[in-house]
Amino acid sequence: MTAKAGKYELKLSSRLGKVKPSATMAVTAMVAALRAAGRRVIDFGAGEPDFDTPEHIKRAAAAAMNAGETKYTPVGGTHKLKEAIVAKLKRDNNLEYEPAEVFASAGGKHSLYNALFALLDDGDEVIIPAPYWVSYPAMVLLAGGVPKIVETEERDGFRMGPEAFAAAIGPRTKAVILNSPSNPTGGAYTKAELGALGEVAQKRGVFVISDDVYEALTYGGFRQEHILNACPQLREQTLLVNSVSKTYAMTGWRIGYVAGPKALIGAMNKIQGQSTSNPCSIAQAAAVAALEGPQETVREMVREFESRRDFVFERLSRIPGVSCFKPLGAFYVFPSIASYVGKSANGRKIESAGALCEYLLKEAGVAVVGGEDFGAPTNIRISYATSMDNLREGLDAIAEALGRIKL
């Protein structure tokens, strides 16, 4: 306890100074506040499907409640859920696991958090290709680790090559995080590319964390293969991370899961047992229905997302000064707005992507997310997880607002 002027002075943990609030959550909160004040805002910042959870999944949750499944469950999930995860991995990924090698948490983010706390000692490095999901570096820092960022380029599809991966490995490198398809770029690795990265990881003893939450959302005939299909010998040094959030429009249900070495699963069980205990029992029952039930709703969602992707990419490509990679998966585009950085609008200089986002919110009534917190300071992230009407209106407004900036 410390005292100042006769009053208690709260002193927070110094580790909090290493991280800042999530940029995507901040945009979501800003949009909610503006709408509450009566302002019309088109939200391109949301990182969640705009579809409702399928009815058969909601019925399963109601049935679980009516059956009294409202008590604690085992820390890492019910046996039914673990069996459903095992069956899903065999059906969709051709990967063989047993229930003792899988584990459920309160969302994919929670799964990653548990994994990093179980893996890292102070000073251990984790290689993260940029652009990256905003929470990767923050979670590494909170776990005492050091993010080692590897830059990628739009012309390469935002993919890290094996040479760049190998060059980033040092004596304190513990792990690498691979996210394919990617948030925020929509970039994805082929089986051959994953195999090349896997060979480097195996030779250099780097643990692989494979974030697969967008694996089902792929377009244009592209199918996401798993790194363990490309490099099976990596099995004991790979953690597969997934969730029901994106695939089944279940973001609020908060169920993520992992599959990996028993020793790591046991360590994650120990950490979760002393923090949150089990994920929600009702949400677990819903997740079982999602994984085991009909998958047509997923395919319908993918078809709609692909149509939106095509529209958004084409519309952005017609805006002068905007460069855009055509995503292979997820539901984001990540255009470069480098041509606008340093220019002026309404007497105000646009110094960064974040400043451009503020301009678009004020002038166009459209919320997007600046690329700074994704490791790309001259890009913005646009989510097309919203209606075609919103996409048309919002992109027209963006084009008009950017058109008022002299390049």
For residue 358, what are the β-bridge partners?
none
**In the structure encoding, which two tokens stand for residue 293, read together?**
């039930």
Which of 1-15, 30-44, 206-220, 221-235 has the weakest average pLDDT? 1-15
* Average pLDDT for the chain: 95
Residue 96, pLDDT above cutoff 60: yes
What pLDDT shows up at residue 109? 97
Q: How confident is the model at residue 46 (pLDDT cuts 50, 70, 90)?
A: confident
- Structure-model confidence comparison of residues 105 and 407, the more confident one: 105
pLDDT band at 196 (very low <50, low <70, confident <90, very high): very high
First to last CA, the chain: 56
**Alpha carbons 210 and 160: distance in angstroms, whole number:** 14
Give the mean pLDDT of 94-104: 98
Query: For residue 344, which amino acid is it?
Result: S
As a whole number of angstroms, the distance between CA 223 and CA 188 comes to: 9
What mean pLDDT comes out for the span 256-265? 98
pLDDT tens-place string over residues 318-360: 999 999 999 999 999 999 999 999 999 888 889 999 999 989 9
Is residue 279 within 8 A of residue 104, CB to CB? The reply is: yes
The predicted pLDDT at position 125 comes to 98
The H or E element spanning position 211 is strand 207-211
Over 70: is that where the pLDDT of 5 sits?
no
Whether the predicted pLDDT of 161 surpasses 70 = yes
Please say if the pLDDT value at position 2 is more than 60: no
The mean pLDDT value for 20-49 works out to: 84
| Arithmetic mean of pLDDT, 241-255 | 98
Cα separation, 122 vs 268, in Å, equals: 18
Q: Model-level pTM?
A: 0.95
pLDDT for residue 201: 98
Tell me the average pLDDT across 194-206: 98
Whether the predicted pLDDT of 32 surpasses 70: yes
Look at residue 1 and tell me whether its pLDDT is greater than 80. Answer: no
Q: CA of 320: how far to CAs of 2, 216, 289, 308, 349, in Å? A: 57, 33, 47, 21, 19
**377 preceded by cis ω (within 30°)?**
no
How many C-beta atoms lie closer than 10 Å to residue 147's C-beta?
18
pLDDT number for residue 16: 86
Q: Are 368 and 41 in contact (CB under 8 A)?
A: no
Kindly tell me if the per-residue pLDDT of 136 is higher than 80.
Answer: yes
Query: What value does the mean pLDDT take over residues 31-51?
Result: 89
* pLDDT for the residue 4: 54
- Distance, CA of 143 to CA of 162 (rounded, Å): 26
pLDDT greater at residue 38 or residue 119 = 119
Report pLDDT for 37: 85
Buried/exposed 327-356: b ≥16 CB within 10 Å, e otherwise:
bbbbbbbbbbbebbbebebeeeebebbbbb
**Cα–Cα nearest to 177, from 222, 130, 224, 234:** 130
Instruction: Quote the pLDDT of residue 292.
Output: 98
